[in-house]
A and B are shown apart, each in its own frame.
Chain A
């Protein structure tokens, strides 16, 4: 199942990667954030590490480290506009509840 991108997200990532001038794709992950569960990690990927899982979606390479994958399995990354703000949004079926601001979540 892995991780997928919406077409809008893929388009924005392609633009960003192009602007940055280097990087093979996108790295998604989770990290434990202090007391309240987990937070997402969204970074440019400069390399694929041997242990990484690799997905292709709308022409973009997405890598996920094996420790993060169970938390992200089935996630769709979307690009959304909310008022004046725009950015990436994780539609993650594993999430049970999220904190108010949505930066950290529980599975």
Chain B
């Protein structure tokens, strides 16, 4: 017997290559791209190891995206586009705060456009530059083209805003697997989908938008119960409040666009400093040569932004009211967005819900991580040991009926979909021109114990000897769980196919029952398979022997013929019985007594073929 080596699990079956899929958080202030590596979601950093990509695009000599564009924003504000997400799918009339942007806007029908040095740009084009940068980063880091991406959007985005986001992704050369709501992505990142069921709140204070979503998790599926928020409230507004405070306390006059940007940047730095420190210095030199030197304390910061913090609680109350819940019914609160690092926010949320919020994942990354997990699933990659993926696997093996009422499994249970498997079959009888294909589902060995899904016939097989025809049967299950079975005869190319929905009318308990039965009857099934195989074998030999007796019976002496007929009768007698061993013994006996007969037939065949030929003509 052959010597075997230990294989890696699942390598016995051909393994599907991992498809590279990413999750993208296209944010107002910063964007990120993440993927799932070895089952763990990770954010992909740039060459300098920076995970964030500032959502800033500068149209200069060339198009700059990210930190390079950010560095240029104070000296080239008109051509450096920030917070473009706020402009997505918007007309100028929709923008109540258009004056806060230092751009030259151009009104187009239903769509705002921006005049830049290199021409008129739409928000979709600007966003696509950000997405393109992320796509390149992912391709460099993963070493190849992407199969697709999940891009997140605020739960609040309307159809126009979602469409604009999709268009931007397409323009950037990305295949959008799905747009995913940011709160759902965050909940997935925290693994809430694997955990206990219940109602969760997602508090997402990003750079430019605030979203509060109430999600209910049941059986691994999130249902959005209510959303509320403010599409023009975010970390930027806290910067703006600090900026206003700087102007107030230093009483400086009208500022150039460059000075405005400089002070906004200083304001943000101060805000970020206050997450870890009790006070932050603000030092800046204006274009007039004037120097500012101020100190912002946590208390001052809290008091000047108190109304903003309060403003976030309005939508929280509204969402709870819409969902007919009170804060005590919320099982957990997920914090999303860099702005939730601010201590006064953490405190306000904890007080409101009466529990500390979930904040142990990086709030900047949590949405991208969740999107990556979703993208990985949608791309058809198997993540090991994650229950919720059972939604996307085949619950029971799919196969077809072969001779003797046995099942041949083509797609095994727990295979992830989409999947396609192909196997070759052949004919059982000489001159067989049609083949019945019976598609079954289940783990049992006998067709009678499995669930019948469909039957169809392949006709037009050219007449050949048994076993010569090659019929390729393909089982294909698409992402929606639809099974398509096709059979194709290889020489003439005749083909026929059928579609079925295997899960139709099958409940979880039935699936469990079918699995249990297959375990309980494993030994019976083994015997049943062995018996059926022996019967098929016996039938084949009996038919061949009977045929040979008819054509070449003259080669036998009477006692030999009697012995063969006796052995054949014995096989025929046992063939419909249950005694496999006896049947196998009878078949062996028949084989033995027909051996001289077979030899004589062979000799005669050779003699016939050679008669009247010259030796040198035989090559």
Interface residues of A (CB under 8 A from B): 13, 16, 26-27, 31-32, 34, 37, 40-47, 51, 66-67, 69-71, 80, 82, 85-90, 98, 101-103, 106-107
Tell whether, in the assembled complex, residue B522 and residue A67 are in contact, meaning their CB atoms are under 8 Å apart.
yes
Within 8 Å by CB of B12, from A43, A45, A47, lies A43
Residue of A nearest to B443 (CB): A67
Bound Cα distance from A69 to B520, whole angstroms: 11
Q: List 20 A-B contacts (CB under 8 A).
A: A37-B533, A40-B4, A41-B7, A41-B12, A43-B6, A43-B8, A43-B9, A43-B10, A47-B385, A66-B522, A67-B518, A69-B522, A70-B522, A70-B526, A87-B5, A88-B3, A88-B6, A90-B4, A101-B2, A106-B533
Report the separation of the CA atoms of residues A16 and B6 in the bound assembly, to the nearest whole angstrom.
8
Partner of B9, one of A31, A46, A80, A107: A46
* B491 on interface, CB distance cutoff 8 Å: no
Cβ of A98: which chain B residues have Cβ within 8 Å of it? 1
Q: Are B519 and A67 in contact (CB under 8 A)?
A: yes
User: Is B249 on the interface with A (CB-CB < 8 A)?
Assistant: no
**Beta-carbon contact of B5 and A42 below 8 Å:** yes
Report B504-550 residues with CB < 8 Å from chain A CB: 515, 518-519, 522-523, 525-526, 530, 533
Q: Is B409 a contact partner of A32 (Cβ separation < 8 A)? A: yes
A107 close to B530 (CB less than 8 A): yes
Give the size of the chain B interface in residues (CB under 8 angstroms). 26
- Cβ-defined contact, B3 with A82, below 8 A: yes
* Cα distance, A47 to B385, chains bound together (Å): 10
Decide yes or no: A26 and B6 within 8 Å by CB, A66-B519, A67-B522, A90-B1 being known contacts: yes
Check A43/B7 contact, CB under 8 A, given A89-B1, A90-B1, A103-B2: yes
Of chain B, the residue at the smallest CB distance from A94 is B526
Asked if B619 is at the interface of the complex by the 8 Å CB criterion, the answer is no
Identify which of A37, A47, A66 gathers the most chain B CB atoms within 10 Å of its CB: A66
> Which residue among A46, A51, A67, A86 has the maximum number of chain B CB atoms within 10 Å of its CB?
A67
- Please report the C-alpha to C-alpha distance between residue A29 and residue B522 in the assembled complex, in whole angstroms: 13
**Known A-B contacts A32-B408, A67-B443, A67-B519; A45 and B3 likewise in contact (beta carbons under 8 Å):** no
Does B360 belong to the interface (CB within 8 Å)?
A: no
Chain B residues with CB under 8 Å of A26's CB are 6
Q: Given A32-B408, A51-B519, verify A42-B4 contact (CB < 8 Å).
A: yes
B48 within 8 A of A: no
- CB neighbours (8 Å) of A106 from chain B are 530, 533
Give Cα A82–Cα B11 distance, bound, in whole angstroms: 25
Q: Known interface pairs A67-B443, A67-B518. Does A88 touch B5 (Cβ–Cβ under 8 Å)?
A: yes
Contact A102/B518 with A43-B8, A67-B443 known, Cβ cut-off 8 Å: no
Given contacts A43-B11, A45-B9, contact A88 B519 (CB under 8 A): no
Q: Are A86 and B3 in contact (CB under 8 A)?
A: yes
The 6 closest A-B pairs by CB, nearest first: A87-B3, A102-B1, A102-B2, A66-B519, A70-B523, A70-B526
Q: What residues of A have a CB within 8 angstroms of the CB of B530 in the complex?
A: 106-107
A99 to B522, CA, bound (A): 24
B520, chain A: closest CB distance, angstroms? 8
**Closest partner residue, chain B, to A81 (CB atom):** B3
- B2 with A80: CB separation less than 8 A: no
Residues of chain A lying within 8 A (CB to CB) of residue B526 = 70-71, 107
A45, B443: Cα distance in complex, Å? 22
With a 10 A CB-CB cut-off, give which of A16, A43, A101 has the most chain B CB atoms.
Answer: A43
Extra contacts besides A51-B519, A67-B518, A80-B3 (8): CB < 8 Å: A16-B6, A26-B6, A34-B423, A44-B7, A44-B8, A46-B9, A89-B4, A90-B4
Q: CA–CA, A41 to B408, complex, Å?
A: 18
Q: Distance in Å from the Cβ of B246 to the closest Cβ of chain A?
A: 56
- CB pair A44–B6 under 8 Å, yes or no, is yes
Closest to B1 in A: A102
**B9 neighbours in A (Cβ, 8 Å):** 27, 43-46
CB distance A42 to B518 under 8 Å? no
CA A49 to CA B34, docked complex, whole Å: 31
A102 to B519, CA, bound (A): 27
Contact of A88 with B443 in the complex, beta carbons under 8 Å: no
Determine the chain B residues whose CB is within 8 A of the CB of A32 once the complex forms.
408-409
Enumerate chain A residues within 8 angstroms of B12, measured Cβ to Cβ. Answer: 31, 41, 43
Cα separation A101 to B518 with both chains bound (whole Å): 31
Min CB–CB distance B463 → chain A (angstroms): 22
Q: How far is the CA of A41 from the CA of B412 in the complex (A)?
A: 15
Q: Which residues of A contact B11 (CB under 8 A)?
A: 43
Question: A86 — which chain B residues lie within 8 A by C-beta?
Answer: 3
Which residue of chain B has the shortest Cβ distance to A92 in the bound complex? B1
Closest Cβ of chain A: how far from B4's Cβ, in Å?
5
- Interface centre among B4, B11, B408, by most chain A C-beta atoms within 10 angstroms, is B4
Q: Mark B1-44, 1 if CB is under 8 A from A, else 0.
A: 11111111111100000000000000000000000000000000
**Contact: A87 with B4, CB < 8 Å?**
yes
B583 CB to closest chain A CB, in angstroms?
13
- Give every chain B residue within 8 A of A41 (Cβ-Cβ): 7, 12
Q: Using CB atoms, name the residue of chain B closest to A88.
A: B4
Q: Assess whether A42 is in contact with B443, with CB atoms less than 8 Å apart.
A: no
CA distance A39 to B4 in the complex (A): 11
**What residues of B have a CB within 8 angstroms of the CB of A89 in the complex?**
1, 3-4
User: Within the assembled complex, what's the spacing in Å between the Cα atoms of A67 and B515?
Assistant: 10
A92→B153 CA distance, assembly (Å): 59
Of residues 444 to 495 in B, which have CB atoms within 8 Å of A's CB atoms? none
Cβ–Cβ contact A13 & B523, under 8 A: no
Considering only residues 563-583 of chain B, those with a C-beta below 8 Å from chain A are none
* B8: A residues at CB distance < 8 A: 43-44
Which of A26, A45, A106 counts the most chain B CB atoms within 10 A? Answer: A106
CB closest residue in chain B, given A101: B2
Of all chain A residues, which has the CB nearest B412?
A31
How far is B518's CA from A71's CA once the two chains are assembled, in angstroms? 14
Bound Cα distance from A28 to B189, whole angstroms: 36
Chain B, residue nearest A102 (CB)? B1
- A97–B57 CA distance with the chains assembled, in angstroms: 72
Q: CA A16 – CA B9 in complex, angstroms?
A: 14
Q: Report the minimal beta-carbon distance from B117 to chain A, rounded to whole angstroms.
A: 56
**How far is B7's CA from A43's CA once the two chains are assembled, in angstroms?**
4
Which A-chain residue is minimally distant from B516 (CB atoms)? A51
The chain A residue sitting closest to B524, CB to CB, is A70
CA–CA, A71 and B525, complex, Å: 11
Q: Which of B356-394 contact A (CB under 8 A)?
A: 385
Min Cβ gap B163→A in Å is 44
Alpha-carbon distance A42/B3, docked complex (angstroms):
11
